[in-house]
Chains A and B, each alone.
Chain A
């Protein structure tokens, strides 16, 4: 997915004489469809490079794979009756190693799994958490689904993006329901769920991430008690 050709932007510049109404001027481009959540880069306009060789199963003789990566993928393959089940774990492993599912990373996973890289890229592009283009290493997924957005998630995402704008170490994305509507609006910060977040939490959070500190310790889901009034009642035996 790297090295994609530039999209045409010419048609947008045509003069449109009858429009003289004052209007906001959003950036109008003829770019391909991009997604609300910025999670994927469609390749609709990509032709193949006819100079390349077909992407068959990579030969171990000519594909160097870091030993620890190979061992991790092979261990995953051994867990299942059919080794192909390890496709997602293998892609997750190369993503951890390379930062994203780069062509080289996918090629390595394919080499270990004895699959074509096509098989794996087809899987990788299906899932939101597998990145098929370079991203920052700090993942901040802000849930923007119904419950969170009823509680102000869209503003939170905008604020978060604003705060981290220009910092390549961040990968701030709006995300579909993360399954934590009880702490809406919330975010998953390098896999740690925090919420409910206010806009004021954003600068603190960004600083904590930059400094490698635990994100918003007091707002971590993992420490939250159940809200069910009966859950921890003596009748339930919690005090036993």
Chain B
């Protein structure tokens, strides 16, 4: 059930250097691509492999590259290394331990797309990883895998590592492009899609770290061979970041289609002794939550979508029964409120409003009717926003209210019983203590 492709020998000392990477057969796929294949053939292999984007949206990667118009303008490849979806840390491990695998994938992807300039947009917090990549880029340049006339093929590619500065929204591809262009990382209106007008208005292919790092392996194995791993619609292996209330949190490479229970209990060891899974996020904090009844679902794109959730970035967060759902909902909502870029109305105002309502729920100053309003506000956010950040809060919060409505109501009752004036109550305060609290916290 486990297959190691990306993680094969990942802990080998010195793998981050070009010598060790090459000794292990690194850059051979690139050599094959540049000396024996045309861009179309590379794209065809990627399509044949069935590889779907590993960043969250799960769009077929080969198809994405095939959308790049074959016109004679500057084209770009951007590697999305702004891994900021809560619960996700797989790209970090890849970049830190095997940066050349990513660089090789970037050159292959750029060759297929006809791009001559490429960028890695890495989140600003990953300083250690960024330093490792910077060193790897220099090595790759010296070895002739980057720069002009790579391996004598006539193909040129520059690669620049761009460090972000801390904004979740820059993981959204168009927000990332604006940020890379030196602006505020506000998502753009689509269409035009990046494939037609992306970075600097040029055709741009944007791929996640894991997606690009998989490309050398697809070339090595052959697309058809790679497609045999996993299920029909979710081929290959996937790095899954498991965290939260589990005994062995970390990254695991799994074959898509294994049971979720196998990942959570088999690999990550399940919740600490004496506790049980209460609910779990199957694909980062933006995915609607699933409960322990869903543990036997196969972990692949389609099965999770049928269960009204998603595989997303492949980050499983397990919450055990010692935690209150309201706390998690509030934490989540606060995160999205903090990270909303503020460009579109439903997301900017909806996240703020949801946080205020959840704070009232938490402090006992809400009624069950507020839960209906809160659910309706999530409905109003979903589908009405410029990008998916609004939905990323609305979907899990709505799923929590639906699946744990009784607990929400109980939480309100208990909080009210504990403190009739609410936690912000103060003798001699303004009209109503919670109003003050609301004004401060809003």
The chain A residues found within 8 Å of chain B, CB to CB, are: 11-12, 14-16, 19-26, 28-31, 33-37, 39, 79-89, 91-92, 122-123, 126-130, 141, 144-147, 149-151, 175-184, 188, 191-193, 221-222, 225-233, 235-238, 240
Contact = CB atoms under 8 A, between A and B. Distances in A.
A26 B182 contact: no
B344 interface: no
A79 B180 CA distance: 12
B96 interface: yes
Contacts of A126: 167, 184-185, 341
B241 A182 contact: yes
A29 B440 contact: yes
A191 B128 contact: yes
A147 B244 contact: yes
Nearest to A19: B427
Most B Cβ at <10 Å: residue of A31, A81, A225, A228 = A228
Contacts of B167: 126-128
Contacts of A39: 338
Given A26-B426, A184-B249, A231-B7, A191 B127 contact: yes
A227 B184 contact: no
Interface residues on B, range: 35 or more
Contacts of A226: 7, 10-11, 93, 97, 250-251
Nearest to A190: B127
B428 interface: yes
Contacts of B273: none
B426 A181 contact: no
Contact of B126 (A35, A179, A182): A179
Contacts of A181: 86-89, 241, 243-244, 249, 315, 317
Contacts of B439: 30, 33
Contact of B86 (A81, A146, A240): A146
Contact of A230 (B2, B166, B243, B441): B2
A35 B441 CA distance: 7
Contacts of B4: 228, 230-231, 233, 235-236
13 contacts: A122-B184, A126-B167, A126-B185, A129-B125, A145-B331, A146-B285, A151-B245, A177-B86, A181-B87, A184-B243, A222-B96, A238-B8, A238-B10
